[in-house]
Amino acid sequence: MTAQQQKMSLNPRKMEINGKTRVCGLIGNPVEHTLSPLIHNTLAGRLGHDLAYVPFPVAEDGVKAAVAGALALGILGLNVTVPYKSEVIACLSEIDPLARDIGAVNTLVRCAGGYKGYNTDMEGLYRAMRSEGIELAGQSVILLGAGGAARAVAYLCAVKGADRVWMLNRTFEKARTVADEVNGRTGRNVICPMRTEDYAEIPDGRYLAIQGTSVGLFPHTQDVVIEERAFYEKIHTGFDLIYNPWETRFMQLVRANGGRAYNGLKMLLYQGIIAYELWNDTQVSEEDALAVYDRLRTKFS
C-alpha cells in the first residue's frame, strides 16, 4: 500500500461528486435492499478513487435498454443481481470464459464497444471460505440446491478439486441436469445428484455442507431445507450463502450438532471487491477488505 493509500485508509475522504466522478452501479429487481453501495463507496473513500456507486432498479424486459443506456451514459461498470444474471449475457460485447461456463454474469466491465461480463460470485465465495480456513481441495461436500447459485457453487467445487459433491435438490431431474452440465464442462465426474429426502444414502462421514438455496432468507428465518438431526450429524462445517438473517436456521442446526457455521456476508464482500478491482485495475488489501466487512457487520448488530 502506498503512503497515500495508508493515509486514505486511516482517514477516508468525504464523497464529493464532480464532473470527473466515475459512476458504477447495480441493476436488478429489486435493488432497494442492497448493501453493495456500502461496499463500493467505502472502498472508493479508503482508496481515494473518484467513484460513486448507485443502485438502478430495472423493470422486467428492461435489461437490454438498461445496458445500452449505461453505455451511452459512460458508466464505468455494473453489477447484476437477480433476476438478470443470465439474461444480461445477450447484451454483452465479450464474456469471460468462467462466466460463460457458469452461465451467469454478475459484473460488467466497460470495454471497446460495450461491456465484458464476469462472474465474481464464485471467486468471492472461494475467498470467503479460505478466509475462514475452509479449503475445497480434497473435500467431500454436500450441496443443498440446484438453482443458479448452487450451480456456480458446484462448478467452484469441481474446479477447485473437491473429491465429491452430493447435490441435494427437491427435484431430482434438475439436480441431474446441473450435475451433467458441470461434470461435462469441468471434465470431472464429481457432482452426484440426489433427491433431498434421500440424504441418508450419502456415505457415512463428516462433510462440508453449503446451503445454496433461498430457504431461510429474511423474513422466513425459521425455514430450513432439512430439519432432521441425522443430517446435521454428517456436517463438520456449514456455509450458508444467505447473510440476512445473520444466523440462519441451517447455521443454528449445524452448530447444535457440533459443527462450525458461517453465513454469506463475506461472499458478498469479496465478490464486490473483485468487481471493484476489475473496474479500477487495482488490488484491494486485506486490511481494507476487513474494514469494509466491519461496516457491513454493523448492519446486523
- pLDDT score at 106: 97
Output helix, strand, coil percentages for the chain, rounded to the nearest 5.
45, 20, 40
* 104 and 30 in a common domain: yes
* 253 and 172 in a common domain: yes
* 169 and 193 in a common domain: yes
Which among 85, 116, 234, 266 is annotated as catalytic?
A: 85
* 138 and 240 in a common domain: yes
More confident residue, 14 or 127: 127
Query: Which residues constitute the domain of residue 26?
Result: 3-119+266-300
Q: Give the mean pLDDT of 280-295.
A: 97
* 10 and 34 in a common domain: yes
Count of H-run helices and E-run strands, the chain: 11, 12
* Predicted confidence (pLDDT) at residue 162 exceeds the cutoff of 80: yes
* 62 and 138 in a common domain: no
Q: Give the mean pLDDT of 59-73.
A: 97
Domain count, the chain: 2
- List, edge to edge, every strand of the sheet that includes 94-95: 51-57, 22-28, 77-80, 107-111, 114-118, 94-95
Alpha helices in 23-120 (DSSP H): 36-47, 63-72, 97-102
Of 11-20, 29-38, 137-146, 246-255, which range is least confident?
11-20
- The CATH number linked to 108 is 3.40.50.10860
* 258 and 130 in a common domain: yes
Q: Give the mean pLDDT of 34-49.
A: 97
* 144 and 17 in a common domain: no
* Predicted confidence (pLDDT) at residue 18 exceeds the cutoff of 50: yes
116 is catalytic: no
Look-up of cell digits 431445507: 225
* 76 and 19 in a common domain: yes
- The CATH number linked to 236 is 3.40.50.720
- pLDDT score at 16: 82
Residue 212 · residue 239 · CB < 8 Å? no
* 257 and 148 in a common domain: yes
* 273 and 150 in a common domain: no
Of all residues in the chain, the percent with pLDDT exceeding 70 is 95
How do residues 187-228 score in pLDDT, each as one tens digit? Answer: 999 999 999 999 999 999 999 999 999 999 999 999 999 999
**What average pLDDT does the structure give for the chain?**
94
DSSP state of 203: P
How do residues 245-272 score in pLDDT, each as one tens digit? Answer: 999 999 999 999 999 999 999 999 999 9
Residue 76 · residue 279 · CB < 8 Å? yes
* 228 and 131 in a common domain: yes
